[in-house]
Each structure stands twice: as C-alpha cells, then as structure tokens.
Structure 1
Amino acid sequence: MSTDPGGVPPGVLKFGYDPRVNWKLAVPVVAAVALAACSQAESATPGILAADPWVRATVGTEMPEMTALFVNLTNPSEEDRMLVSADCGDVAAKVELHEMVKVDGQMVMQEAEGGLPIPAGEHQHLAPGGPHVMLMGLTGELVAGGEEIECRLEFDDGQTIDLVAPVKEFTEEQDTYHTHAPTEDS
C-alpha cells in the first residue's frame, strides 16, 4: 500500500497542518463570510404582515355599487410604513384608500391622501368605522358565503401583499359608514 509523503494512505483524510493552505488568508476569509451571514440574518426584518382580510357583501345594501375591504396590518419593523395603493382587479372600476375624519362634529370618510400609515411596531386595523380600502363601481353583486375577492396591497417601500378576502355579511353597519366628506367635485 502506497502512502503520500506525509505517511497517510490515499483516500484517507488528513487533519491538521497542510503546507498548501495559506492560513493567514483563509482565517480572515472564513471570518468575513460568517460575519456577513450573521448581519444578513439580523437585518432581515419581516415586512408588513396581513391577517383576517374580508370584504363586505353588497346584496341587500343601500349602495350595492360600492363596498370595502378590511384587514389587520402589522408593522414589525422599526420604520413607519404607508399603505399607498390597492388593486382588486376587475371587481371594481375604482379602488381608493379611505380614512375617517371629523367634519362639523360628524365622522365622515374621505380618500387618504398619500396613503394609510402603519407606524413602526404597531398594528393598523382596516375596519368598519375606520380606515379601509374602498371599492367603487362594482362590476357585480358580492354575495356572502363562499365568494372571495383577490386584492393586492402596495406599500411605500415597494412591498406588496396579495390577499384572498372572503365576502361576509356586515349587519352592524352604521349610518356614518357611507357618509363622505365634501370634495372639490361636490
């Protein structure tokens, strides 16, 4: 049986010093790779998280040509974010982000210029009576129980979230839900 110059048979791994390895170069390279892997893991903060999306059914409502998408958003990052747009495909002719404001002592909804804020480390609940995604000019009635709407939310940092929102009945609707703030057009 032959051996290499170090006395180790072929096919057997030899651990320890190897004169062919430049250890002065190898150690810093290995350390740099390890540090890069650690820093990537630490900076990989998740983006906005979405939970419990749903859309209000329109059958039997006063205004069946419009509805709203609701969802719970969480911002786990250390930076404020903005929901800047929503797209629900061909379900509606127009989709806007709405907020509730007080006008002459009454709560009314209006388009949220610039988007809806999701503060760092906090939740933003898009819910009836609060901020929401408004779908106007619906192409058909939305029936509760089995129907779903696909929508994409886009944020100021370029993140997008695709939602599948079931259509649900909403029987606790308040009169102020459809009250809009005056606009330049009105």
Structure 2
Amino acid sequence: MPFGFFKKKKKEEDNTPHYDPSNIRITDIRVGFFLEYNAKTWEVAEEYEYDWGDNEFSYSFLLRSADEEVYLSLENEGELEIVMTDKIRLVKLGEDIDDEIADNGRPPKTITYEGVKYYRDNESPGYYRNTATTPRNESVEMITWDYYDDDEEKAIFIEQFGERDFEAYIGEYVEEYEFSNIIPASEPPATV
C-alpha cells in the first residue's frame, strides 16, 4: 500500500471514471479492472488513496494474479512514472530499523538490501485509506520514507502508522508499454 513518492495528483471533483473506452490506459484503472503484465493476468483488487494535504492525492493498487500479489503505483506530473512493488518484512531492511525510527523519528539515511545500497530521499506525512472500506473522514495518519538506488530504478518504501506499526515495500520502475489488455470492471465499485 505504498507510497509517498507519488504525490501531487489533483483529486477530481467526483469519482466517476473519466476515460476513453477505445483507449484505456494504465492511469484509468480502478478496482475490478483486469490487465496483462509480465506474462500474467492481474485483477485490480484494492485501491488506496493517500492525502498529502493542499488537495494533493496519490493512489496505489493491489493487483492479484492466480499465484501472486503486487502493488502498482502511478505518478503523472508531466511524465508518467510507474512502480511495481512487493511487500516485505521491515526486519529484512535491518534488525533494529524500528528502534531507530522510534529513537530518531526516521529510519537510517542508507539501507543495503540484497547487496544494493538505497539512499533516503523523501519524507512525506499524510493520510491513508482503502477507498472501498474506509470513509474519507476516517483516513489514518501516516508517514512514508522513500529510498532509491544509485540508478533510481529500484526503490524501497517504509510506511509508519501510529507509533510502532510499519510496512515496507521493495520495487522497481516499469514502463506503460509493459501493460496490455486493460479491461474495465463490468460495474463501477461503490465509493465511500
């Protein structure tokens, strides 16, 4: 359910889908859509909204295939950026990382994971909610930290909810052309 790195998307006035049915793009997906990625068919199972304040929102999506779950996040500030991530256990990023956050108010400046060094880049406080199950006025306060490798092609994201509740994600940037056969849901989901 990442991420703070996808900010500044202006919220539309309503939740009605606004896309051209003859030219559906990855930026049009919502819960119930299907798409092809990495030689698999995925269903958009959940949608998460991040409210960064000043009418700035971002979204990520849980995608499910027959045997896997991944998260897709989109940012479009003049150029579309797409990140696919997997959820990982925080302890894999360092045995004492939760204590460091508690003691210092943030995680370390660098993290080495599977032989790759990542550098902390952003710290973003905001509010999070699952769009299908949580009303907007019940969003949860959170903070996220973004890390990137030297080439800025791979990323790690750490999210904190409350004092000691953390989630971590590892991912990489992908291109829009890697997605195909995007099919909308037969009925739009109810929004809260």
TM (norm. structure 2) is 0.24
Q: Which has more strand, going by share of residues?
A: 2
Q: Which has the larger radius of gyration?
A: 1
Q: Which has more helix, going by share of residues?
A: 1
TM (norm. structure 1) is 0.25
